[in-house]
A and B are shown apart, each in its own frame.
Chain A
Amino acid sequence: MRSLDHFNVKIFAQPAPQFDLAQAVPVFHRWIQESARPELLIDVADYRHVQAGPGVLLVGHEANYSLDNRAARLGLLYNRKLASEDSLPAKLEQAFGAALGACAALEAEPAFGGKLRFNAGEAEILINDRLLAPNTAAAVASLLPELRAFLDHLYGVSAYTAESGGAPGERLCVAVKTAEQRPVAWALERLRRA
């Protein structure tokens, strides 16, 4: 399989019935003012009006961040858009690092009043390129060794499950889950050590 550059990492939020997604709009605007992420941040797009959609999106040049509501499950989605020469595990480390960093910032956001918490132990990796990575068993099999190389570092060997599924036309998606919930800070620390 050719080098994969374009993929999404989604870190799922813990159930947050009190959390109003509208509050993310001014927060993301402020992130642009403060250049609060390493990427070039361009604009905020509000898609709350569509059911189970991208939610509130912070559009960037190298990547988009969104409080994504796809499949009616809230999470922080990091959409990597640029190519690089790094290995796939290195790219995954960058994407998880960016996503978890954004999760940490959102958890600490005063405007949310502690209502938004993430479980770093539940994530999805979606390959955003159907030609290079079709949603087939063969593609998953060829991808898993490199995915595991990274996930073992992050979660620990045999400390998580990684499953793929979905219809053939859908993007290749690997759902990762640890047995227990993992705080964002824990995962960031693991990344630092790795």
Chain B
Amino acid sequence: MKASNHLWNQALEAEMPPSLAKEIEAFEQEIALKKAGKLDDKVFAETRLRRGAYGQRYDNGHRHDGKQSRTLPFPSDGLTKGPHTLWDAPGMQRIKIPFGGVNAAQLETMADVAEEYSVGVAHVTTRQDFQLHYIHIEDTPALMRRLAAVGITTREACGNTVRNVTACPLAGVCHDEVFDVTPYAQALAGFLLGHPDCQNFGRKFKIAFSGCSDKPCALVRIHDLGAVAATREVDGETRRGFALYVGGGLGTVPYQAKLMEEFLPEEELLPTAQAIARVFTRLGEKRNRNAARLKFLVAKLGIDEFRRLVAEERKTLAEDPAWTAYIPGAHAHTEQPVRPPGLVQIGAESSEEYRRWLQSNVHRQRQSGYAAVTLTLPLGDITSDQLRAVARICRTYVRETARTTVEQNIVLRWVSESGLPQLHDELSALGLAEPCAGSIVDITACPGTDTCKLGIASSRGLAAELRSRLAERNGATDAIVRGLRVKISGCFNSCGQHHIADVGFYGVSRNRQGYTVPHFQVLLGGQWSNNAGSYGLAIGAVPSKRVPEVLDRITNYYLEKRTSGEDFHSFVRRIGKGEFKTLIEDLSEVLPYAAAPELFTDWGDPREFTLGDLGVGECAGEVVSPVEFQLAACEREAFEAQLHLEQSDPVRAAQTAYASMLHAAQALLEFKLGSSPEDADESVHAFRRHYYDTQVFFDPFAQGKFADYFFAAHAQRDDSPDHEQARRLVEECQLFLEAAHSCHARLLVNRT
């Protein structure tokens, strides 16, 4: 803990908005109360989460060092900052950046706090936040005060709250937008921050704004609440409003948001959001956090009933001047450039690097003579020195109009085109001009096993490896392949947004030859465009170390077989997942340890792979269990279900997915009891008794969620699902199988 911590309050008193100062002081008192043993663990955990202070890997005081699981003897002396979370263990601080808007002073402060409290690197997330890692909990109030002094809050950055409100980073300068959504995103973020109607959710609540319906910049359809700018002519006057979507979300099983209002007048935006929050508070699940997101409520009630309930709730709200006070300002909202407009110059002396950068990283604005420039941040990371340099560049070129993006980059808007060559030179010197924005090189990845407690495989390690390989040949890569999106998550939770990539990956593990081997599930069929228009499905798991080959094969196949002008999404649909599975089938093989020891470690981590850091023991026996073969058969069934889905046969897809889950459950029963009932009802009953009630099947973090999928599938096995319901069941089936693999690995450990 820094000696200066307690001095920052006084030093910054005049600069902090009083509301934020009070909020931080309250948190500081809660820290003191916790240290004095006067605050419950769970209460403190939620209160720190609501301030963005998150846990980090190994904070339970255990780490597998590659040979054995060892205790990390933090000097916490029994003090914890939440259940199983040691006080002195480093944590993560999430920092909200509404609509990604950040100015030069804020960038400089971010640089300073990253340097003094973290490791000199800030990380941009897939929701336009910043994150700092390796932070001590007692440093957080000082860090928060320094951010508050430049207008940044961490309040409600985590926890069951309204999270960062995101928006298209090109809002206000985009050719396609209906109008600039920036002031609306800002107004809604401010209105809901700390709002009494948003303090009792069962789960987090995410909001996004987009200026148009077909571009992906804001990914509206993966959000709990998504607003797409729209206008309507009323009495000869153009009125602003929004198409309002609700109930979307990725997570383990993704849901597409449903259209709730085709046109919601702008003055109704805030009250409607408030009414939605109240309905969510009142009717949303509270006890089972695995079914507590708004998407479950909307799916359960149906969009029509949900719409009706919101309309009813809206009528009960007392008028609030804040609902509309911002609107005149929103209409008047403009940004001013710092330099006059210019024209881009490409002369004979222009380097190839510069030309490529112009092509990939520079976006001509709607305003003639200006461009928006993307600074590509490898793995979303930027150093303190780079942040300070970007702040200086902001002041020189763009009057501080920078935005973070959901692809983990930073965009500078209002760059006079005549300044582009000079800006390119400056960014090149900083290592921020890699000509790959929005390309296959510009890979999105969540923190994964680097720092996340839930990570199974190294998403960042894999991303770094793929990035390095692809960057080497980026210039030579076919343009159509260069435009593909790759997104990686370290587990099924989808923080890396793997469902909406052209090629997505998420971390899993497989028990092979007595070892636990890091794998990634390969997903195809996701769609980044149309505001994340469709979600990909898994076609099979491959060892982590073979993922680069998988990507090469898939992209080469695309190049070879695509028809003229055929985009990747259409190509996948035409070819079918079965053919892709065959294409990569041989790469799923795990060679014997002696022949390929590298398969048994993860990218960027020389330790023999383990799930031990998830709180599960390792060192499985040498005998290959028959369950592995049975689970492999179940995986084939699950894949068949996908093929039925692809052939527009949702009923058969659902039946096959259910059968796959049932067979996996029976395999586990055989393993435990020596035999399994053949009858489905009896199997479900036995599975509940031996695996669910005993919590043997429980995931360390998701608990009984995956077993619940199975029980629900059994209960609904005679239904006739529509395509979306069947798609969800196929996804749930895959997750149930992953959980079965993990459960089996744990059981093997206990047997040895």
In whole angstroms, how far apart are the Cα atoms of A40 and B86 in the complex? 14
Contact B112 A169 (CB under 8 A): yes
Interface segment among B189-197, B380-388, B540-548: the answer is B380-388
Interface segment among A112-120, A126-134, A141-149: the answer is A126-134
Bits for B287-304, please: 1 = Cβ < 8 Å to A, else 0: 000000000000000000
Is residue A29 within 8 Å, beta carbon to beta carbon, of the partner chain? Answer: yes
Bits for B176-203, please: 1 = Cβ < 8 Å to A, else 0: 0000000000000000000000000000
Contact B134 A59 (CB under 8 A): yes
Interface residues in A, total, Cβ within 8 A: 42
B1-54 contacts to A (CB < 8 Å):
1-4, 7-8, 11
In whole angstroms, how far apart are the Cα atoms of A132 and B566 in the complex? 61
In whole angstroms, how far apart are the Cα atoms of A70 and B65 in the complex? 28
Contact B3 A43 (CB under 8 A): no
Give chain A nearest CB distance to B115 CB in angstroms: 7
In whole angstroms, how far apart are the Cα atoms of A100 and B431 in the complex? 30
Give chain B nearest CB distance to A175 CB in angstroms: 16
Contact of A47 among B121, B432, B461 (CB under 8 A): B121
Contact A71 B2 (CB under 8 A): no
Closest to B57 in A: A43
A71-99 contacts to B (CB < 8 Å):
71, 79, 81, 83
Give chain B nearest CB distance to A129 CB in angstroms: 5
Closest to A69 in B: B383
Is residue A151 within 8 Å, beta carbon to beta carbon, of the partner chain? Answer: no
Contact B66 A53 (CB under 8 A): no
Contact of A29 among B65, B378, B468 (CB under 8 A): B65
Give chain B residues whose Cβ lies under 8 Å from the Cβ of A29. 65-66, 605-607
Give chain A residues whose Cβ lies under 8 Å from the Cβ of B63. 32, 42-43
Contact B606 A26 (CB under 8 A): yes
In whole angstroms, how far apart are the Cα atoms of A171 and B384 in the complex? 11
Give chain B's interface residue range (CB within 8 Å of chain A).
Answer: 35 or more
Contact of A53 among B88, B90, B121 (CB under 8 A): B121
Contact A129 B119 (CB under 8 A): no
Bits for A47-58, please: 1 = Cβ < 8 Å to B, else 0: 111111110010
Give chain B residues whose Cβ lies under 8 Å from the Cβ of A6. 2-3, 116
Contact B604 A46 (CB under 8 A): yes
B79-133 contacts to A (CB < 8 Å):
88-90, 108, 112, 115-116, 119-121, 133
Q: Contacts A40-B72, A42-B72, A169-B388 known; A50 to B58 CB distance under 8 Å? A: no
Give chain B residues whose Cβ lies under 8 Å from the Cβ of A169. 108, 112, 388
Is residue B67 within 8 Å, beta carbon to beta carbon, of the partner chain? Answer: yes
Is residue A158 within 8 Å, beta carbon to beta carbon, of the partner chain? Answer: no
Closest to B65 in A: A33
Give chain B residues whose Cβ lies under 8 Å from the Cβ of A79. 119
Give chain A residues whose Cβ lies under 8 Å from the Cβ of B7. 131-132
Is residue B430 within 8 Å, beta carbon to beta carbon, of the partner chain? Answer: yes
Contact B74 A61 (CB under 8 A): yes
Contact of B120 among A3, A43, A46, A53 (CB under 8 A): A53
Give chain B nearest CB distance to A20 CB in angstroms: 13
Give chain B residues whose Cβ lies under 8 Å from the Cβ of A57. 119
Contact B385 A64 (CB under 8 A): no
- Beyond A42-B90, A169-B112, 13 additional contacts (C-beta under 8 Å) are A2-B3, A25-B605, A25-B606, A26-B606, A29-B65, A40-B72, A51-B383, A52-B385, A61-B74, A61-B88, A70-B383, A81-B136, A83-B1
24 A-B residue pairs with Cβ-Cβ distance under 8 Å, sorted by A, are A5-B3, A6-B2, A6-B116, A29-B65, A42-B58, A46-B604, A49-B379, A49-B381, A50-B378, A50-B431, A51-B431, A51-B432, A53-B121, A57-B119, A59-B119, A70-B383, A71-B385, A79-B119, A128-B116, A131-B8, A131-B11, A132-B4, A169-B108, A171-B116
6 tightest CB-CB pairs across the interface, nearest first?
A51-B431, A131-B4, A26-B606, A49-B378, A53-B383, A33-B65
A interface, CB within 8 angstroms of B: 2-6, 25-26, 29, 32-33, 40, 42-54, 57, 59, 61, 64, 66, 70-71, 79, 81, 83, 128-132, 169-171
B interface, CB within 8 angstroms of A: 1-4, 7-8, 11, 57-58, 63, 65-67, 72-75, 88-90, 108, 112, 115-116, 119-121, 133-134, 136, 378-379, 381-383, 385-386, 388, 430-432, 450-451, 461, 464, 467-468, 604-607
